[in-house]
Amino acid sequence: MMDPVSERLKQHYGNAFATHGATARGVDWGRDDDVRLRYAKMLAVLDGFEGGSVPSLLDVGCGYGGLLDYASASGVSLRYTGIDLCEPMVLEGRRRHPEARFEVGDILDFGAACGYDAVVCNGILTQKLDTSIAEMNRFAGRLIPRLFALCRHAAAFNVMTTRVNFMAPNLYYRSPIEMLAYCIDQVTPRVRIDHAYPLFEYTVYLHRTGDGPGPA
C-alpha cells in the first residue's frame, strides 16, 4: 500500500501537471529563476565526486525531468534515472530525453538494483497540503534515510526553512538546526547545509564516509 503522504502528493502534483503542463507551475515549484537556482543547488551534490566516469544520478520526484534539461544545457553529463509518482510527468520526461531512464513509482517502494553515485530530491518536502506536521515528519523520517541508502557519493534534498517571517499553512517547514541534529544523529555525521541562498529553504547534503566533511 502506498504511503498516505505519497498518495496525497500524487493527487496534488497530478492536478498541477494536468493544468499547467511541463512548466515550473506544472510541478508547483515557483518561478523559473527559482527553479534554475534549485537545480544548481542539486547538481552541487557532485562537488568532490572523483569517480573517474560520468556520474550516475537518481532524481527522486523528478517531475518531467527539468533537472536533466538544466544539466544538459549546462554541459553536465549524467547517467540519469528519474522517478516520480505521476505517470504523465514521467512520460514527458521520456519524450524529452529518450536516452535517460524514467520510472513511475514511489521512492519509498523503489527497489533499486544498485546504488547511484548521487541522489537528489528536489521539492518533495515542500507541500504539506492538509497533512499534519507530525505526519509529514514521519514521512520525512522514511524519505531521508532512503535517499542516503541509495547513494554512493552523496545525496541532496531541500526543505523549507523555519527561519522566515511568514509560514503558509499548506507548506512544510523544518528548522535547519533541528534538521542538522537529526541528520547527524540518525543518518550520517558527514552533513553540509546550504542555507545561504535567497529562497525560503535550504539544501542538505549527506556525504558517504571519505568524501565529505565530518569525522572519520
6 binds ligand SAM (CB under 6 A): yes
Site string for ligand SAM, 104-143 (x = CB under 6 A): --xxx-------------xxx-x-----------------
Q: Give the chain as a 3 state SS string.
A: CCCHHHHHHHHHHHHHHHHHCCCCHHHCCCCHHHHHHHHHHHHHHHCCCCCCCCCEEEEECCCCCHHHHHHHHCCCCCEEEEEECCHHHHHHHHHHCCCCEEEECCHHHCCCCCCEEEEEEEEEECECCCCCHHHHHHHHHHHHHHHHHCEEEEEEEEEEECCCCCCCCCECEECHHHHHHHHHHHCCCCEEEECCCCCCEEEEEEECCCCCCCCC
Nearer to ligand SAM, 42 or 190 (CB): 42
Residue number with CB closer to ligand SAM (15 or 209)? 15
Residue with Cβ nearer ligand SAM (87 or 211)? 87
Q: Draw the binding track, 72-111, toward ligand SAM (x: CB under 6 A; -: no contact).
A: -----------xxxx--x----------------xxx---
Q: Which residues bind ligand SAM (CB under 6 A)?
A: 6, 9-10, 13, 27-29, 60-63, 66-67, 83-86, 89, 106-108, 122-124, 126
